[in-house]
Homo-oligomer: A and B are copies of this chain.
Amino acid sequence: MTATITDIAQRLKLSNSTVSKALNGYHDVSVATRELVRKTATELGYQPSAAARSLRRGRTDKIGLFLNTAITYVVDFLSGVLPGAALTAQGWGQNLLIYTITDNDPGHLLKACRAGEIDGVILFSTHYDHRTINALLEAEFPFVVMGREIADERVSYVVPDYYRGSVMAVEHLLALGHRRIAFTTRPELGTANNARLRGYLDALTSAGIAIDERLIVETRIQPFSGIEPTRQLLSLKSPPTAICAFHDLIAMDAISVAQEYGLRVPDDVSIIGFDGLRAGLITTPQITTLAQPLEYIGQRATEVVCQQIAEPDRPPVHEVVPVELIVRGSTKQYSGGV
């Protein structure tokens, strides 16, 4: 099929060892033959066999980013994260591969690691699985979690500052005069979500506003899953004047439900999202949101795992990156009576 190292050796009447050393720039071989070898290598379109090389060297120079294809919205996150991650990996001489996990085969990740397909793992928030993480720790396999804070000291993560994000969102709404501020949260337990909820609660209480449990609703993060919870909120006897959604997709649903209820956004109800999605720009009105520096997150996560591959004994990294409030059209000064 493709040319091997032996082909070059035979054509040049050299040994395999010399060719290999020439290609890898050892000082063990004269410049003349080195050049000669390199020339014929490109001539023959030689590309070292990944399998053979990885077998011998014991590493692959590949890191795997795992994502569950069943979860649709991860792709939004992914698109932001990918450029930073891919470029950084390249800078470290690593190859970034995206592995698709399906629900049918949860062991995929571990298998890939144990089979030596990759040298490191970037774990997407949503695949948080206790057993997986423990297995990786056990095997001392380099990995980093992206987008979710993990309670275990030993695991590295890079995560946006969800807590501050919530606080900023609520403070923004408070500054606009809102007092009845609703919050959507995810049913699953998880630190990320808790951080968001904590931020909401803290911001309200430190402003001296009592928590109204009815203003906190649960929703999953699927297309249209924000519809029903928003209806629930807007059907209250005293509905909120502002809604703090934990994701732009939910905010979009909220906007459409508001319209359904004959409410104008932002005149009658303010809505704020989270994620800074590009899609938030094309709604009417555009969504006020908290933008995560996705590209930076991708870059840092990759860096962390590459460092861990290079120096396995490094201490774990816990990085919380700041988010930014982007005020657009979906929030406005509260105009109703107090």
Contacts and interface: CB of A to CB of B under 8 A. Distances in A.
A286 to B, nearest CB: 9
B115 A47 contact: yes
A79 B90 contact: no
A75 B69 contact: no
A30 interface: no
Interface string A86-109: 110110000111111010110000
Given A82-B100, A100-B86, A256-B284, A116 B2 contact: yes
A100 B105 contact: no
Given A72-B79, A98-B100, A50 B116 contact: yes
A35 to B, nearest CB: 21
Contacts of A86: 69, 100, 102
A278 B223 contact: yes
Contacts of A50: 51, 54, 112, 115-117
Contacts of A99: 95, 97-98
- The contact size tier of chain A is 35 or more
A283 B283 contact: yes
A228 to B, nearest CB: 16
A130 interface: no
A55 interface: yes
Interface centre among A51, A98, A105, A278 (most CB of B within 10 A): A51
A205 interface: no
A52 B57 CA distance: 12
A115 B69 contact: no
Interface string A42-77: 000101111110110000100000000110100110
B252 A282 contact: yes
A281 interface: yes
A207 interface: no
Nearest to A251: B282
A115 B72 contact: no
Contacts of A104: 87, 90
Given A75-B82, A252-B282, A281-B223, A47 B114 contact: yes
Interface in A245-278: 249, 252-253, 255-256, 259, 278
A83 to B, nearest CB: 5
A13 interface: no
A83 B97 contact: no
A98 B95 CA distance: 11
A-B pairs, top 8 by smallest CB distance, nearest first, are A75-B79, A98-B98, A47-B114, A51-B55, A86-B100, A50-B115, A51-B54, A252-B282
15 contacts: A2-B139, A48-B115, A51-B60, A55-B55, A69-B86, A85-B100, A89-B100, A90-B104, A90-B105, A97-B98, A97-B99, A98-B98, A252-B282, A256-B281, A279-B279
Interface of A: 2, 45, 47-52, 54-55, 60, 69-70, 72, 75-76, 78-79, 82-83, 85-87, 89-90, 95-100, 102, 104-105, 111-112, 114-117, 139, 223, 249, 252-253, 255-256, 259, 278-279, 281-284
